[in-house]
Amino acid sequence: MDEGNLERQIPLTWVDAEDVPVFFANQFIIQHHQDEFILTVGQMVPPPLIGTLEEREDQLEQLDFVPVKPLARIAFTHARLVELVQALEGNREIYEQARQARDDQMRGGGTP
């Protein structure tokens, strides 16, 4: 047996994924350098503005910026980024089809 050609397909199994916290992400930065893409995912929560309209306007005027809390930075090769984009697009299409079917069902099962 040629040791240089050892090959065996071993399945991957996601372990303890349910133990990883889920964050609501609403801000994204993507950077690239050569064949590497870095995705920074963050969460922005609008600051509370309370009081009368005038008080809220004053609070708004005092804001210099709204902070974004970074949640994760993930690096991808070009090939893996393309794979991620395809997976997201496919999942989005499935979601939109299911949503359309639910909407149609709620309107009485189809076109009026």
Per-residue confidence (pLDDT) for residue 1, from 0 to 100: 53
The SS3 of residue 112 is coil
**According to the model, what pLDDT value does residue 3 have?**
65
Contact criterion met (CB below 8 Å) for 68 and 40: no
pLDDT at position 108? 84
CA distance 84 to 82: 5
Whether 74 and 41 have beta carbons less than 8 Å apart is answered as yes
In DSSP notation, 26-44 reads -EEEEEEETTEEEEEEEEE
* Burial of 25 per CB tally in 10 Å (0-12, 13-18, 19+): middle
The pLDDT of residue 98? 96
pLDDT in tens, the chain (112 residues): 566 778 899 999 999 999 999 999 999 999 999 989 999 999 999 999 999 999 999 999 999 999 999 999 999 999 999 999 999 999 999 999 999 999 999 998 655 5
Encoded tokens for 48: 């509370």
Question: Residue 110 has what pLDDT?
Answer: 57
pLDDT of residue 33: 92
